[in-house]
Each structure stands twice: as C-alpha cells, then as structure tokens.
Amino acid sequence: MTQKLLFVCLGNICRSPAAENIMNHLIAREGLGEHFICDSAGTGGWHVGAPPDRRMRAAAKERGMDFVGSARQFQAIDLQEFDLILAMDRDNYRNILALDPQKKFADKVKMMCGYCETHSDKEVPDPYYGGADGFNYVIDLLFDACRGLLKSLKN
C-alpha cells in the first residue's frame, strides 16, 4: 500500500518543499519509492506556482541536493486525499484543522517536529526573513524529523 504524505507550511516555498524533497531523498536512498508519495502545500496562497525559495535551494545545493517543486495552496480536499499531513508550526496546524470543522481527519494531522530524534524544537522555524544560517538550520532540523518520520512509517 502506498502512503501519501503532505508537508505544510505557510507559503510552500521554504519549509514544506524542503521537507518534501528531503523525505523523497531518504525514501529513494532506502529504495522505498513505491511505498510513498510526497507532496507539499502552503496554508497561504501568495506564492502559488513558484519554485522553492532560491536561498533554500542554495542551502540544499551545498549538500548536493536539488530542491524542486511548485508552490500550491492547501485545500480541504487534501484532508481526504492524504494519509498523513505534517504541519511545520502550530499556526499552520490550526489553519489545517480549521478546514475540518467536524474533526473527521484530525488524527491525520501531526506536527513535523514530533518526529525529531535529536532536535528538541517543537516547531520548524520559518527562515524566510533571516539569513543563510536559518535555511541551513531548517534543513538540518528537517533531516532529523524526516528520518524519524520514515522510521515510524516503516514500523
């Protein structure tokens, strides 16, 4: 059975596409591509159609990775379509659940940092208004969370 994972942040150009690309990288490295489909979205619609932020792509390039994607806005239908929805922070978590007033899908929505194994962060910080260090930190944090997520999904 294929599991569908959706990573969600605010604009879908920094954190969630990074998580999607990192998760795809880890899945491919373990030869599990046929078991998972990853996507990302933003609760806001400002960047629809845009590629991942150039600073995020530059930070990924330093690690030998190409971050690809096209921003889209999270829709209520995503709650039905995906098996697991991973919010980058509490605001986005609340915005996702606001589209599910009957709480039919609430158990599918999780906090990304809940899967971290070494970092103690509760939320993935938004690097958008900061410098390169923030983008590098987010990639490190998401590698940790994605490793933990993949481990939990394999079990």
Quick: pLDDT tens for 32-51.
Answer: 999 999 999 999 999 999 99
What does residue 115 show for φ and ψ, rounded to 5 degrees?
A: -100, 0
Q: Report the pLDDT averaged over residues 7-24.
A: 98
How high is the pLDDT of residue 17? Answer: 98
Task: Give the whole-angstrom CA distance, residue 12 versus residue 46.
Answer: 9
CA distances (Å), 121 to each of 92, 111, 138, 140, 148, in order? 16, 11, 11, 12, 14
One DSSP character per residue, the chain reads -PEEEEEEESSSSSHHHHHHHHHHHHHHHTT-GGGEEEEEEESS-TTTTPPSPHHHHHHHHTTT--------B--THHHHH-SEEEESSHHHHHHHHTT-TT-SSGGGEEEGGGG-SS---SS----TTS-HHHHHHHHHHHHHHHHHHHHHHH-
The fold adopted by the segment(s) 3-154 is Rossmann fold (3.40.50)
Residue 49 burial (CB count, 10 A): 7
Q: Where are the domains of the chain?
A: 3-154
Q: Report the pLDDT averaged over residues 125-151.
A: 97
Task: Give the whole-angstrom CA distance, residue 118 versus residue 125.
Answer: 16
How high is the pLDDT of residue 95? Answer: 98
Q: Report the pLDDT averaged over residues 77-86.
A: 98
Q: What percent of the chain has pLDDT over 90?
A: 98
Position 148 pLDDT exceeds 90: yes
Position 83 pLDDT exceeds 90: yes
| pLDDT, tens only, 100-127 | 999 999 999 999 999 999 999 999 999 9
Mind telling me the catalytic residues? 9, 15, 126
How high is the pLDDT of residue 1? Answer: 85
How high is the pLDDT of residue 155? Answer: 84
